[in-house]
């Protein structure tokens, strides 16, 4: 591809929304809805939605229990870790590695050159690395397969949205084998339920507790002896790298280490307010961060590297009075201090506005229309954070269905890859090439390091290098160069014709596609067009 072609595509992505919104016929509206409520149209989807109507389609998607999804289980059947608990995953994938490392350490201790202990910094062997990666790879495969083939498309869109909102990075220690349960049991069941329930589920999730370090947060003045009647015999709160508590003799040797846990940790308290609820301009202060962190002391994990679950340890909890956003939490509340904080935050008008803004940005525009944000926030407050009703308010709004919203969003790499699979009716027998494609396109699944999650606005994804990568993926998909990913039918280009018509391709794009010399090239150019990059 020439630099001029890339530049033309880049220009089209940046400025092509007006062309896409010039017409507002029914097929274009349906394609728009399928690009937002779903991960794009498959062959035949436009006709199916036209038959029942856009309103019925949206309402059904808001009630995924109504939508039969029998085929997805068969596609996921070979991914053995998806049904495992964190403890089972730890027993099969983490503990064997711990034992292997300990064996190497014991062997190294007998070496005469003084290298004892250095084996723990030695990279694992190929088989050990494969076992370590399998859990996240299978989780990534299921995410792609569900997004491509589930009939409950809105549910998958929202699982992606809310996981990103409550992001956890798989690269942080034990998080990699806690994520399967986190997405399956913390995020997925709550995406159309109560925001307060979702917030509470994430606050007690071992994955979140580990990622944002709250499992190590303790009252600096503890341990509290008066908690002995309700808690097991106390052992000093200092963990080794595998989540086991150090015995007192070892504890004395590590007291001065700079990375040893040292009491109150404010990471979760800060991100809870800045990223999960109020937003950076939500009216809280640094003192509120400290008070929230105090409220969550003792919210910890039972041996995290062994797959343990949430537990409250009252010996580590700050039992004093807290004041959060001007509201007094009386002394002696124990575990309920944290619950009280979640109640306070979930009811704040700033939280309603912050969540409404994020959802409108995802579904409507990078610049969320203020009037729609206000209506969605009001619905949040009226329903005590009923996410189904807030989402319904957005998806049935004039702003969402307006021609101005058509093509107003640039697809993230995840949305692009999945929509390309759906548009070509590709059959994915092995999703690993798609997992690798996500890495190559700069969006490796479950590996977003900052707690902000991946951005879903155009500025994060529109650049020349990214568009070249997308064209390369489109070419590989169309030409059968992704092993185990088969473009169905003898004429994949013909399956794109209804979609291409509804996209309202520009004259320039049509001329470019017309110059293709083969069917795979026509498919690749359609998938790489400025219009297909937008949703």
| Strands 327-329 and 322-324, bridge-based pairing | antiparallel
Contact 184, 190 (CB under 8 A): no
Give, in order, the Cα–Cα distances in Å from 357 to each of 63, 178, 457, 472: 23, 29, 13, 34
Last residue of a domain, one of 358, 390, 405: 405
DSSP-derived secondary structure letter, 486: E
Across-strand partners of 251? none
User: Is there a single domain that holds both residue 478 and residue 389?
Assistant: no
Last residue of a domain, one of 405, 423, 446: 405
Helix orientation angle between 26-36 and 45-52, rounded to the nearest 10 degrees: 110
User: Is there a single domain that holds both residue 433 and residue 516?
Assistant: yes
User: Is there a single domain that holds both residue 429 and residue 489?
Assistant: yes
Q: What is the pLDDT of residue 99?
A: 75
Last residue of a domain, one of 405, 425, 441: 405
User: Is there a single domain that holds both residue 413 and residue 396?
Assistant: no
Identify whether 473 is part of a domain.
yes
User: Is there a single domain that holds both residue 391 and residue 476?
Assistant: no
Radius of gyration of the chain (CA): 25
User: Is there a single domain that holds both residue 497 and residue 388?
Assistant: no
User: Is there a single domain that holds both residue 461 and residue 425?
Assistant: yes
The sign of the CA dihedral 304, 309, 313, 317 is positive
Q: What is the pLDDT of residue 245?
A: 39
Q: What is the pLDDT of residue 133?
A: 86
Identify whether 209 is part of a domain.
no
Distance CA 285, CA 317 (A): 22
Q: What is the pLDDT of residue 493?
A: 59
pTM for the complete prediction?
0.87
User: Is there a single domain that holds both residue 419 and residue 401?
Assistant: no
Count up the domains in the chain and report the number: 2
Q: Which domain holds residue 399?
A: 349-405
pLDDT tens for the chain, 535 residues: list them: 554 444 444 444 444 443 333 333 478 899 999 999 999 999 999 999 999 999 999 999 999 999 999 899 999 999 999 999 999 999 998 787 777 777 777 777 776 554 444 444 555 656 666 777 899 999 999 999 999 999 999 999 999 999 999 999 999 988 999 999 999 999 999 999 999 999 999 999 999 999 999 999 999 988 886 554 444 333 433 343 334 433 333 333 333 334 434 699 999 999 999 999 999 999 999 999 999 999 999 999 998 778 899 999 999 999 999 999 999 999 999 999 999 999 999 999 999 999 999 999 999 999 999 999 999 999 999 999 999 999 999 999 999 999 999 999 999 999 999 999 999 999 999 999 999 999 999 999 999 999 999 999 999 999 888 999 999 999 999 999 999 999 865 455 556 655 666 677 888 998 999 899 998 999 999 999 999 999 9
Identify whether 295 is part of a domain.
no
User: Is there a single domain that holds both residue 445 and residue 515?
Assistant: yes
The sign of the CA dihedral 517, 519, 520, 522 is positive
Identify whether 93 is part of a domain.
no
Contact 185, 373 (CB under 8 A): no
50: exposed, middle or buried (C-beta count within 10 Å: 0-12, 13-18, 19+)? Answer: middle
User: Is there a single domain that holds both residue 389 and residue 448?
Assistant: no
Please confirm whether the linkage preceding 367 is cis (ω < 30° from 0): no
User: Is there a single domain that holds both residue 423 and residue 521?
Assistant: yes
Q: Residue 360 CA to chain centroid, in angstroms?
A: 17
Q: What is the pLDDT of residue 107?
A: 76
Q: What is the pLDDT of residue 114?
A: 47
Identify whether 59 is part of a domain.
yes
Strand, coil or helix: what is 348? coil
Q: What is the pLDDT of residue 71?
A: 93
């Amino acid at each position: 591809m020439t630099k001029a072609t890339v530049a033309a595509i880049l220009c089209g992505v940046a400025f092509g929304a007006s062309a896409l919104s010039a017409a507002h016929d029914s097929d274009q509206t349906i394609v728009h809805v399928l690009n937002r409520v779903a991960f794009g149209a498959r062959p035949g989807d436009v006709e199916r939605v036209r038959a029942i109507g856009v309103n019925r389609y949206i309402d059904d998607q808001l009630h995924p229990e109504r939508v039969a999804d029998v085929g997805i289980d068969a596609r996921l059947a070979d991914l053995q870790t998806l049904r495992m608990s964190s403890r089972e995953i730890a027993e099969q994938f983490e503990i064997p590695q711990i034992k292997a490392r300990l064996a190497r350490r014991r062997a190294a201790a007998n070496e005469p050159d003084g290298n004892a202990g250095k084996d723990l910094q030695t990279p694992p062997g190929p088989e050990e690395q494969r076992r370590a990666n399998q859990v996240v790879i299978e989780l990534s495969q299921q995410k792609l397969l569900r997004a491509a083939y589930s009939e409950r498309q809105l549910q998958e869109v929202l699982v992606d949205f809310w996981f990103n909102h409550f992001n956890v990075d798989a690269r942080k220690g034990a998080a990699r084998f806690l994520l399967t349960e986190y997405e399956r049991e913390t995020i997925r069941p709550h995406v159309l339920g109560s925001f307060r329930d979702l917030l509470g589920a994430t606050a007690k999730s071992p994955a979140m507790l580990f990622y944002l370090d709250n499992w190590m947060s303790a009252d600096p003045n503890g341990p509290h002896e008066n908690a002995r009647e309700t808690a097991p015999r106390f052992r000093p709160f200092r963990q080794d790298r595998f989540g086991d508590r150090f015995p007192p003799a070892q504890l004395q040797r590590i007291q001065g280490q700079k990375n040893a846990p040292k009491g109150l940790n404010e990471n979760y308290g800060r991100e809870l307010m800045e990223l999960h609820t109020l937003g950076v301009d939500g009216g809280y202060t640094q003192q509120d961060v400290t008070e929230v962190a105090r409220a969550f002391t003792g919210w910890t994990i039972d041996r995290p590297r062994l797959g343990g679950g949430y537990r409250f340890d009252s010996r580590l909890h700050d039992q004093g009075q807290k004041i959060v956003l001007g509201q007094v939490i009386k002394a002696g509340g124990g575990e309920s201090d944290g619950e009280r904080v979640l109640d306070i935050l979930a009811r704040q008008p700033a939280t309603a506005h912050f969540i409404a803004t994020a959802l409108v940005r995802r579904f409507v525009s990078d610049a969320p229309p203020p009037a729609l944000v206000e209506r969605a926030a009001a619905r949040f407050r009226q329903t005590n954070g009923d996410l189904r009703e807030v989402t319904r308010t957005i998806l049935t709004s004039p702003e969402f269905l307006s021609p101005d919203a058509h093509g107003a969003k640039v697809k993230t790499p995840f949305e692009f890859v999945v929509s390309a699979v759906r548009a070509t009716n590709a059959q994915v027998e092995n999703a690993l090439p798609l997992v690798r494609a996500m890495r190559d396109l700069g969006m490796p699944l479950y590996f977003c390091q900052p707690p902000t999650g991946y951005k879903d606005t155009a500025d994060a994804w529109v650049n020349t290098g990214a568009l070249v990568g997308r064209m390369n993926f489109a070419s590989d998909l169309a030409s059968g160069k992704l092993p185990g990913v088969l473009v169905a039918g003898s004429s994949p280009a013909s399956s794109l014709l209804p979609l291409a018509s509804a996209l309202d391709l520009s004259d320039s794009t049509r001329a470019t596609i017309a110059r293709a010399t083969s069917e795979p090239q026509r498919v690749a150019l359609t998938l790489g067009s400025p219009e297909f990059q937008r949703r």
